[in-house]
Amino acid sequence: MAEQAIPATVRTSRVRVRRNVRWLAAGILAVVLGGLGTWALFATATDTRSAIKVTTTVHRGQVIDASKLAVIPIGRNADVAAIPGEQLNSIVGQTARTDLPGGGLLVAGSFGPPELAAGLARVGVKVESGRLPASPLAPGTLVLVVALPGGAAAGADSTLAPSVEATLATAPAASPDGGFVVDLNVPLANAEQVARLGAMKQIAIIQKSES
């Protein structure tokens, strides 16, 4: 029995159907991949948080300028105590407590208010035992630095330097010889005077009232 010939139009139709199925499958795959890409992009965008990056190195004690900071996204689960970008304005004008290397993230504890306000100087002095209150004195305590006579060598009519108002920068620490060492924040104009009196052991410290 002779094989029945398949008309050319039927063969062409079958080829077109196969091609259409392939294009349809390719289209579906493209849509799926596009959806996955969109989901991945959305997941990445929503799984981040803003942080503050130091763009230029800020050394310890320097004021932090806005031009040295930038806000960048980081992973929300990043194990870094980075400062949120929303706090950028509150950081500007503060002082670096440690060196802040350029390219790193700004973290908690690395900055704070200026340790020394304008017009002040910090002087370290040694105070003899019995010349400061026996009760504990905390940093920030207001005190009066009193100049003492220089001993028998000083004349009876020697004029003493006026007392200087100061703030304790550190708590007095006992020294091996029985005295105490302490850092004082004093007006810049009186810093040299206080340093000289301290070197000559002619200083007493009086605690002032906070009011």
pTM for this one? Answer: 0.52
pLDDT digits (tens, 9 = 90+) for 74-93: 887 766 788 999 999 999 98
Burial of 170 (0-12, 13-18, 19+ CB in 10 A): middle
How far is 180 from 135, CA to CA, in rounded Å? Answer: 13
Question: Do the bridges between strand 203-207 and strand 142-147 make them parallel or antiparallel, or are there none, so unpaired?
Answer: antiparallel
Q: Is the pLDDT of residue 157 over 80?
A: no
Instruction: Work out the mean pLDDT of the chain and round it to a whole number.
Output: 81
Query: When comparing pLDDT for 68 and 25, which is higher?
Result: 68
